Amino acid sequence: MSEIIDFDPVSGISHWWDYDAQTDKATITTKQDVEPILDWTKGAANQGLTDGGIKESFWLYAKIPTIYQVKMHQAGIKLNDPSATKRIIQWVNEHAPHLKCTAKSHGGTKAKIYLPNATD
């Protein structure tokens, strides 16, 4: 039976501990409720809410929840590296298109990445 060992109310991330007596192994699982973010991104994409920013050189391409930032970091993508823009967009397009705030695509490298809670 899993037990919660930590919860961050700001990010919504929780850490759960589980112990399997048969294998004598412990597991820590990290979880985050991303449904509110996914609902917003789906609505934004369907309504084209962020598409107007393309002409003004500011386009909210995707909202990346903290738990996905961790996955990207594990894949070797440093979110705070300005030269990683192309890899970030490619990863979102390939692995998490549901995070996109637009139905349009961006394959170039001129996009600017803004992730206020990204970690190195």
Same domain assignment for residues 43 and 102: yes
Same domain assignment for residues 56 and 102: yes
Tens of pLDDT, residue by residue over 7-31, are 999 888 999 999 999 999 999 999 9
**pLDDT score at 23:** 95
Report the candidate in 68, 70, 113 with the shortest Cα–Cα distance to residue 95.
68
**pLDDT score at 113:** 53
Same domain assignment for residues 27 and 38: no
**pLDDT score at 64:** 92
Same domain assignment for residues 112 and 87: yes
Tens of pLDDT, residue by residue over 30-74, are 999 999 999 998 988 888 877 776 666 677 888 999 889 989 999
- Compute the average pLDDT of residues 70-87: 90
Same domain assignment for residues 41 and 67: yes
Which of the listed ranges 22-31, 75-84, 104-113 does the model predict with the highest average pLDDT?
22-31
Same domain assignment for residues 58 and 74: yes
Same domain assignment for residues 2 and 43: no
Alpha-carbon dihedral sign for residues 94, 100, 106, 109: negative
Same domain assignment for residues 50 and 26: no
pTM of the predicted model, to two decimals? 0.68
Rounded distance, CA 28 to CA 57, Å? 41
Domain that holds residue 4: 1-32
Rounded distance, CA 102 to CA 84, Å? 20
Same domain assignment for residues 49 and 1: no
Rounded distance, CA 45 to CA 88, Å? 18
> Into how many domains does the chain fold?
2
CB atoms within 10 A of CB 15: 14
